[in-house]
Amino acid sequence: MIFENKDGALIAKRQYETLRIEPWGKDSLRVRATKNGSFTDKDWALTEKVSNNAADIKVRINEEEPSADITNGRIRAHVNGAGVITYYRDDMKILREYYSNYYGTENKCTSALKKVNREFSAILGASEYKLTVRFESNDGEKLYGMGQYQQPYLDIKGCTLELAHKNSQTSIPFVLSSLGYGMLWNNPAVGNATFGKNMTEWVALSTRQMDYFITVGSTPKDIVENYTRAVGRAPVMASDLLGLWQCKLRYRTQEEVLSVARKYKELGIHLDVIVIDFFHWTRQGDWQFDKTYWPDPKAMIDELHANGTKVVVSVWPSVDRKSIHFEEMYDRGYLTRTDRGSIQTYDFQGDCLLIDVTNPEARQYVWDICKKNYFDYGIDIFWLDNSEPDMAVYDFDIDRYAMGPALSCSNIYPLLYTKTFYDGESEELKKDPSRHPVTNLVRSGWVGSQKYGALLWSGDIQSTFESLHNSIIAGLNMGIAGIPWWTTDIGGFMNGDVRTPEFKQLLIRWYEWAVYGPILRMHGDRDPHDVPVLDSEHDWGGGYLFTGRDNELWSYGEDNFKIMKKFLDKRLELKPYLEKLYKEAHENGSPVLRTLFYEFPEDEKCWEVEDEYMFGDKYLVAPIFTIDTFSRKVYLPEGTWQEDETGKTYTGGTTIEVEAPIDVIPVFIRK
């Protein structure tokens, strides 16, 4: 191995590989390797300018061994003669690459497996490789983050996670370790991550180089702060979005929207936000209201604004071949390509292609249309649905973007889709500062989406108690991965039969939990689908598509309405506290939903508990996850805790049993 100190970065070359390790902010390193002639100019998620303290940086090369070390503050990387990297926090080993070949970690013959730490497998005729990077597994280590996966595991040690976005799956490849480090896989390629008992393995199916960021800290909060300093943080959430959001599948007419808003006003309930869902348009890709059912959008929005209600409208990235914009977009190359087979990439309610948001001209084209047909009417927020993007079949190997093969860059798609609207709205906000700050509801994202005002949500999940539990796990791991703006469909999205007492109980338990979360949002496709369509003669426009049952607070009976109204009042009392949490997220990256160990890292039990969480630093919340359950056990960390419902005080460091009737969620206030 040949080592070089190049302006404070450690360069190592062996055979055809070049390795570069350099300081990247406080107690952090960026690590790249390639078998091409040079590194690319892509920083991917590492977009923020970080400063390095020259006094913290040391590069030491031992030509006799040979080996080299690079230190940045509390993190040190040691590279041996075979190119194997070992990482230390202070003097404690935290991570080592896996190497089982003729030359091991001390340049000695250890194995004939020929399984190496960084494996570049050539793709025939391409400059990309399939890349596999392997690390030794640490016994007893716990791992968290990585975004949103539909599974019940908060600790992801032992899991294999697909590095790809799908409806209800959002890959944010940052992992936080109980050993005091965090690692970002800085690569938008499709692949997978396996956190096995025997080995940790990261795979990118098509890429030009290895690229990751590693940081250390004394606490999870320190690690998240270092990480978000490098990738960006969310702006401060506007306080007028912290109350009730009303949504359903789907308000089909202008009059339906106004009648719901008017009834809330009659009941004396302030509605912060109302949402206009999909197929209010003529065809996908037209990006306009269907005038038959939305004759005067501006008048509708003006009335809603007069009552202090913000308005959201759904926008999809799919473009029907019968859309008024299809031919021009296709001719200009603004749509996603396929390398073989049909050009169709999406088939829900039409023969569609998808916007190529990796093309800046395509992004500007779409924004100009949406500005004219929505923003200029006064729309406050865009609901960027299907933003993974959703595809008829997830055959990533046949799709291609302006940026390159879909396998190499698909995971950045939702970030660029969000940026399309963030950039456009930000420019308009400069002209008219009275406009609402940029916030957009998005179904998927990637590392750094938070800095573009992206409010992510859990996607089209089932209306079950299992999904409720999985959603809480997803929200906590999203927060660890740097996404503090996150929400969920109260009651789940699919297969919720409004006629059954079981669904109503689920809805209440979900609603109670959502009150102690980032955003309180009623949404769902409610069964049965027995609502007649408005137009049975056409296969286009806002009138022909189905809709679900009513989903307003009053839709589930007087008893349930009283419970939801009680908790809405609690939510409004919490607004000043929520504002504080959103300010913290902006300043240091701390999530709104926090694992117990985030606030109590010295308490070993807090690294074990997966069915409770901290709502900021003050409230411990213990949701109910099963039907007909009216009590539960709650672990209270060290300190003094007051039960919110009864006022009873407990000394922490113990597990207690508490009552939880249907109108109560166990919540404890940290004293």
The DSSP annotation for 74-131 comes to: TEEEEE-TT--EEEEETTEEEEEB--BSSS-TTSS---SS-B-SEEEEEPTTSS-EEE
- Which residue, 211, 235, 216, is CA-closest to 227? 216
Token pair of 111 as six digits:
């194995």
Give the span between the Cα atoms of 180 and 28, in whole angstroms: 12
Give the span between the Cα atoms of 552 and 248, in whole angstroms: 8
Three-class SS state of 648: coil
Give the span between the Cα atoms of 264 and 271, in whole angstroms: 7
- pTM summary value: 0.97
Q: Any idea which residue has 């009976």 for tokens? A: 557
Average confidence (pLDDT) over 55-71: 96
- CA 87 vs CA 96, 376, 582: distances in Å: 6, 53, 33
Is 80 exceeded by the pLDDT of residue 111? no
pLDDT of 108 reads: 52
- Provide the pLDDT confidence category of residue 102 given band limits of 50, 70 and 90: low
Token pair of 198 as six digits:
């025997």
- CA 508 vs CA 71, 221, 496, 515: distances in Å: 52, 32, 13, 11
Whether 595-670 and 2-231 are alike in CATH topology: the answer is: yes
- Provide the pLDDT confidence category of residue 126 given band limits of 50, 70 and 90: confident
Is 90 exceeded by the pLDDT of residue 114? no
Three-class SS state of 607: helix
Q: How, if at all, do strands 454-457 and 486-487 pair?
A: parallel
Catalytic-residue membership of 41: no
> What are the boundaries of each domain within the chain?
2-231, 239-316+357-386+413-588, 595-670
Options 286, 388, 425, 612, the catalytic residue = 388
Is 60 exceeded by the pLDDT of residue 1? yes
Give the span between the Cα atoms of 578 and 48, in whole angstroms: 26
pLDDT in tens, 277-311: 999 999 999 999 999 999 999 999 999 999 999 99
Give the span between the Cα atoms of 400 and 49, in whole angstroms: 30
Token pair of 575 as six digits:
């607004």
pLDDT of 278 reads: 96
Q: Which fold has domain 2-231?
A: Immunoglobulin-like (2.60.40)
CATH number for the domain running over 239-316+357-386+413-588: 3.20.20.80
Give the span between the Cα atoms of 206 and 119, in whole angstroms: 12
Reduced 3-state DSSP string for 370-426: HHHHCHHHCCCEEEECCCCCCCCCCCHHHEEECCEEHHHHHHHHHHHHHHHHHHHHH
Catalytic-residue membership of 388: yes
Chain-centroid distance of CA 85 in Å reads 30
Options 320, 460, 643, 644, the catalytic residue = 460
- CA 116 vs CA 97, 139, 488: distances in Å: 9, 21, 42
pLDDT of 619 reads: 98
Give the span between the Cα atoms of 591 and 513, in whole angstroms: 16
- Which residue, 303, 208, 211, is CA-closest to 254? 303
Please, which residues have CB within 8 angstroms of residue 61's CB and are 6 or more apart in sequence? Answer: 3, 4, 5, 67, 68
- Which residue, 47, 50, 411, 105, is CA-closest to 226? 50
Mean pLDDT of the chain: 96
Average confidence (pLDDT) over 469-495: 98
Options 136, 320, 385, 612, the catalytic residue = 385
Give the span between the Cα atoms of 344 and 21, in whole angstroms: 42
Catalytic-residue membership of 460: yes
Please, which residues have CB within 8 angstroms of residue 157's CB and are 6 or more apart in sequence? Answer: 141, 142, 143, 195, 197
Q: What CATH architecture applies to the domain 595-670?
A: Sandwich (2.60)
pLDDT of 648 reads: 98
Determine what percent of the chain is predicted with pLDDT higher than 70: 99
pLDDT of 113 reads: 83
- Which residue, 332, 373, 337, 331, is CA-closest to 353? 337
Judge whether 471 and 488 are in contact, CB under 8 Å. Answer: yes
pLDDT of 103 reads: 55
First CA to last CA distance, the chain: 57
